Structure 1
Amino acid sequence: MTIPAASLTDLRAMATSMAASAPVSSDLLLRVCDDIERRGPVARLIEDHPDTADPMFCVRLLAAVRWLDLSGLTPELAAHLRRFRLGTGDRADNDHTWHLFLQALREHPQQVGTALDRPVQQHQPHRAGALLAGLGLLAAPKVRLLELGACAGLNLHVDRYRWFGHDWQWGDRDSTVRLACTGASPGELEIVDRAGCDLTPRDPADPADVLILRSFLPPERDVELLELDDALALAARRGLRVDQADAAEWLDAKLAEPTGDRSVHTVVWHSLFWPYLGTRQQAVIERILSGAARRMPLARIALEPHTWSSPPRLQLTLYSAARTGR
């Protein structure tokens, strides 16, 4: 199989958007696209993988080499990235980075093959700030939070972080996870229950899973890596486990459970998840939500891109309990 031309176009757009904040990774992703188009060594490495049609497949490739770096298996690459990760604009530096990237792929085929089988899981805790903004718009005093594609469950701990807005603070005053947030204060709200599902959940208390999640952050993102480590440590202490389950089946079962309190608003939340579903799966989830709205106050808060290369947008959907007649 080969990577579709449309996916390469999206990847190039993504790489361009990363240039300011992650220049080394941006250049690597562009070179990967070039290599695939001319059927170079990277193309030959990945061409037999069954998931090459996945628009984000090449991100797995970058994460595979980042995993080798974090694991201590590529010390020369690690030393080089520490020196040049902020980007100097020197073509020779970028050429050497590419040389070391290819060398890592050649020297560790087994580890790279294992990494290519993993789904993309860019699980940054500051993404929960979008959830918080959506909860503020919803203005429900009590919330049951259900997350689809929850990964390690970091977004489910949104109220256990300390958030700093323009002229407000919110969350646990003593939290070790302290994050900046835009928008208005979410006001008074209580999360009375929380749960999440994922096809490949990660355990924040498992060092192997932590390493995998760290590998999906570009090496230039030092601050975000520290935030991720703090959030994973908090999640490990809390002990909340994400269920391994299909999203539609899990959601159907969860929404069949009564809250026992009509003042509790059930919120279904997901981020950078929806495009991975087929149109049939999306329609099934929409039907489940529409049906459940007859039994409980229900909303969906999503942070999703229109296309893979476009920035994600916050969406708040309120589901009505009204029945439609024939």
Structure 2
Amino acid sequence: MRDRGGVAEVFRTARGFGSSPLYSHLLGVVADDPGLIELAAQTRAGQQPTFALFGAVHLLLLDGSNDPLAEYYPSVVGDRARPVDARTGPTFARFCTAYADQIAAILATRLVQTNQVQRALVTRLGLALLRRVTSAPVCLVEVGCSAGLNLRADRYAFTVGGTTVGEPTSPVRIAVDVPDAHLLPALEPVPRIADAVGVDLDPPDLTDADDRAWLRALVWPENAHQATLLRAAMTAVADDPPRVLRGNIIDIGADVAASLPPGVPRLVVHTATRIHVPVAQRPAFDTVIAAFAADGPMLHLALEDDHRTAPSGRPGIGLTATDSTGSRTIAVADGHLAWLEPLPELGARDVTP
């Protein structure tokens, strides 16, 4: 079981829940309740207890648990959902007590494996940056890919800055608020993907109803648009899933890199993945990622740099690009990619794979 004091601190200091008034309120409720902290401490090592506990409760509610707590979840009762009030916290705590065994079982067996499909824009942006410097096919690697939905970024439609690019008939249609979109590279055409591979500790199976339900539960209750995108992407990708390998990138990264065609440019992406890597293992994680450049030119994009402020003043997460010349922050984005603000550094120079 994890250190309870550390778990309480995670709930007390958590950021980035602005799109969920319910979860924003419940963070403080959990932080101040020893019983809830005891339950959240059963989250598996390396996993964020905030996402895990809230996802487990959401899963039970979506599965039909007939409880007054459901009245606060738009994902369950729609527009009839009650706003946060004085009863929200006690109702949540009572639910967790009543369903403690079921919640503990979920925390013991599930990983936080969000597939925020909006984040596919990061992959599309990486492909566009490579296209500026090479017309060659590229290899795409995503670390912490969950079910691999974002590995199909070349098959989705994107509306950015009032312009739609990508596959016009795709059922997966991603719209992102991007001020100063002129700073972005041209998002089409993109290079042909010679190979796409994802790595995940425990990849969900899109043909398994329980796995699909868990991915749905990890979408926050108020975020109906993200849930719609997720359903569309799961349906589309299930028909032609990318290659997804089970394992820890620290252990299998060298084998994954060796499986790629030598000399072919590679785009390595991870979004909100490193945060789930235990702190002691992060240097090894970084070393393995860097080693993908040994057998071919690499562009590495990471949406992981927390506590950044966008030019507009919005708090967000930094998108970092690393190539043979070094690393720089090229944009600040909402964690779920509802918006992305490019920085001048994005257009300051081409990548150098």
Bin of the TM-score, shorter chain as denominator length: 0.7 to 0.9
Once the two structures are superposed, what CA deviation does each residue of 1:98-142 show, in whole Å capped at 9, x if it has no partner? 233223222223321122122222221001112222332333432
Task: Name the residue aligned to 2:91.
Answer: 100
Shift of 1:167: 4.2
Return the alpha-carbon distance in structure 2 between the equivalents of residues 195 and 86 of structure 1.
42
Return the alpha-carbon distance in structure 2 between the equivalents of residues 297 and 222 of structure 1.
39
RMSD: 2.9
Identity of aligned residues (%): 26
Q: 1:278 to 1:2 in 2, by over 3 A?
A: closer
Task: Name the residue aligned to 1:147.
Answer: 142
Task: Name the residue aligned to 2:52.
Answer: 60
Task: Name the residue aligned to 1:166.
Answer: 161
Task: Name the residue aligned to 1:324.
Answer: none
Are the equivalent residues in 1 in contact too, given 2:140–2:266 (CA < 8 A)? Answer: yes
Normalised by the length of structure 2, the TM-score is: 0.76
Task: Name the residue aligned to 1:210.
Answer: 212
Once the two structures are superposed, what CA deviation does each residue of 1:215-242 show, in whole Å capped at 9, x if it has no partner? 1122111111111111111111113352
Shift of 1:282: 3.7
Q: Which amino acid aligns with 2:91?
A: L
Task: Name the residue aligned to 1:240.
Answer: 242
- Output aligned runs, 1:221-300, within 5 Å: 221-259=223-261, 262=263, 264-278=264-278, 281-300=281-300
Once the two structures are superposed, what CA deviation does each residue of 1:10-36 show, in whole Å capped at 9, x if it has no partner? 533435x434x211121112211121x
Task: Name the residue aligned to 1:23.
Answer: 21
Q: Which amino acid aligns with 1:22?
A: S
Return the alpha-carbon distance in structure 2 between the equivalents of residues 78 and 241 of structure 1.
37
Deviates more, 1:122-131 or 1:148-157: 122-131
SS at match of 2:207: coil
Are the equivalent residues in 2 in contact too, given 1:126–1:179 (CA < 8 A)? Answer: yes
Q: 1:134 to 1:247 in 2, by over 3 A?
A: same
Shift of 1:294: 4.1
Are the equivalent residues in 1 in contact too, given 2:196–2:243 (CA < 8 A)? Answer: no
Q: Which amino acid aligns with 2:175?
A: A
SS at match of 1:311: strand
How many positions carry a matched residue from both structures?
A: 305
Question: Does residue 315 of structure 2 align to residue 317 of structure 1?
Answer: no
SS at match of 1:203: coil
Q: Which amino acid aligns with 1:200?
A: D
Are the equivalent residues in 2 in contact too, given 1:301–1:315 (CA < 8 A)? Answer: yes
Shift of 1:192: 2.1
Are the equivalent residues in 2 in contact too, given 1:143–1:266 (CA < 8 A)? Answer: yes
Return the alpha-carbon distance in structure 2 between the equivalents of residues 234 and 248 of structure 1.
30
Are the equivalent residues in 2 in contact too, given 1:161–1:175 (CA < 8 A)? Answer: yes
Are the equivalent residues in 1 in contact too, given 2:146–2:202 (CA < 8 A)? Answer: yes
Shift of 1:200: 1.3
Deviates more, 1:189-198 or 1:114-123: 114-123
Return the alpha-carbon distance in structure 2 between the equivalents of residues 50 and 32 of structure 1.
14
Return the alpha-carbon distance in structure 1 between the equivalents of residues 80 and 20 of structure 2.
7
Return the alpha-carbon distance in structure 2 between the equivalents of residues 85 and 165 of structure 1.
29
Q: Which amino acid aligns with 1:159?
A: D
Return the alpha-carbon distance in structure 1 between the equivalents of residues 106 and 58 of structure 2.
10
Once the two structures are superposed, what CA deviation does each residue of 1:268-297 show, in whole Å capped at 9, x if it has no partner? 111111133346644334444555534311
- Give structure 2 stretches of 5+ with no counterpart: 309-314, 326-353
Q: Which amino acid aligns with 1:24?
A: L
SS at match of 2:158: strand
Q: 1:221 to 1:284 in 2, by over 3 A?
A: same
Question: Does residue 36 of structure 2 align to residue 42 of structure 1?
Answer: yes
Are the equivalent residues in 1 in contact too, given 2:67–2:95 (CA < 8 A)? Answer: no
